[in-house]
Structure 1
Amino acid sequence: MIVGLGNPGREYEKSKHNTGFRVIDELASRLGVTVWRSQMDALVAQAMDDGEKILLVKPQTYMNNSGAAVGPLMRWYKLDETDVYVIYDDMDLPVGRLRIRTSGSAGGHNGIKSLLAHGCERFIRFRVGIGRPLPHHDVVDHVLTPFPDELVPEYEEGLKKAADAILGCLKLGVDKGMNRFNPRKKKE
């Protein structure tokens, strides 16, 4: 199950906080997904990749209550937590940078806090950087607004890299995928 975190509604479509939804849309496009259905407070689509069934999920509960959709779906489909990939925005990473982790804290992200609270703890995390707000700017305004035009190409490249990494991890396994798709530290 591949879950993109975001907020439903036209007013949030291009917001930084909808990074997870945008990556799910990229995956849906690549996998030829056209049919979505409502299930347990989420939009869910099924796809096949190398003979494996994949669920694409966009919770419709708003970001801060994402776990209310993800936890029940995970249990309904009898999935292990480690078979759940979650994509979301991260202010601690530069715009468009990808980081894959098999564990970690919520790091102040309310969507991840909600997943943890609803019994989904050992999921695979795909964090896409949105950068920090400018000094003296509000965090809520930062995540709920679109990128300025000059940062859009960098961000959109990050969305594509995240989709590449997810499909790569499905094929290679998460450990090999992390080695291939996580940015390398520069040697000094």
Structure 2
Amino acid sequence: MKCIIGLGNPGPKFEDTRHNIGFMVIDELLRRHNWKLDKEKYKGQHTVERLGGEKVMLLKPLTYMNLSGEAIRPLMEYYDLDPEDIVVIYDDLDLPPGKVRLRQKGGHGGHNGIRSTIDQLDTKEFPRIRIGVGRPSGPMPVPDYVLGKFQGEDKAAAEESIQKAADACEAWMEKGFLEVMNEFNK
């Protein structure tokens, strides 16, 4: 089984914010395949389905972003998943809006959701999809920026990146992550 994890914050207050772009990719995959998150366990909503002959779990942690790993680790243990069987999707301030980068492993880069995941899994070696949200221009504090909604050109770029990240997740059901990474990072 493979597991696609979108990071975000639960609740209507945070819908469609930059920090919730991981949730938006999960929503896009659910929409494409007419699936629903029908299980709630270990601080997360998830579903287990079949895609391309492979069992796949889609997961949205119900913790807030900074505690994401608390929902990921118990479900990985329950379903006996290894770190290479997951992909974590999250927002990245260091990439421009619309840019999508796949990585096989790495540090947290200051992202608290990834920091929590690394701490809970006790490894940095898990695949991830970083989606650019850019940095605030001017004096806006970063927390206010990531909890804000996409506007104008950034909104169109975000919608494109959500589609591309969902495409990458679907490709991963049929190919190795390294092959998908090489294809989508061009």
TM-score range, shorter chain: over 0.9
Q: Secondary structure at the match of 1:171?
A: coil
Paired residues of 1:71 and 1:120 also in contact (CA < 8 A)? no
TM-score (norm. length: structure 1): 0.94
Inter-partner Cα distance in structure 1 for 2:128 and 2:62: 19
Bigger mean CA offset, 169-178 vs 159-168:
169-178
* Deviation of the 1:35 alpha carbon: 4.6
1:56-109 deviation line (CA, Å, top 9, x unaligned): 000000100000000111111000110011000000001010000011100000
Match of 1:125 among 124, 128, 136: 128
Q: Which amino acid aligns with 1:5?
A: L
Partner of 2:81 in structure 1? 79
Q: Is the aligned partner of 1:140 residue 2:135?
A: no
Compared CA separation, residues 40 and 74, structure 1 to 2 (3 A) = same
- The root-mean-square deviation of aligned C-alpha atoms, in Å, is 1.1
Q: Which runs of 5+ in 2 are unaligned?
A: none
CA distance in 1, matches of 2:172, 2:23: 19
Residue identity (%): 45
Please tell me whether the aligned partners of residues 81 and 120 of structure 1 are also in contact (alpha carbons under 8 angstroms): no
The Cα shift of 1:120 comes to 5.2
Shift of 1:127: 0.4
The number of residues matched between the two structures is 183
Distance, in Å, in 1 between the alignment partners of 2:37 and 2:104 is 30
**Which consecutive aligned stretches of 4+ in structure 1 deviate over 3 angstroms post-superposition?**
none
In structure 2, the partner of 1:25 is 27
Aligned pair partner of 2:15 in 13, 16, 20: 13
Aligned to 1:111: 113
Query: Partner residue of 1:96?
Result: 98
The one-letter amino acid paired with 1:13 is E
Normalised TM-score (structure 2): 0.95
CA contact (8 A) 1:31 1:47 kept: no
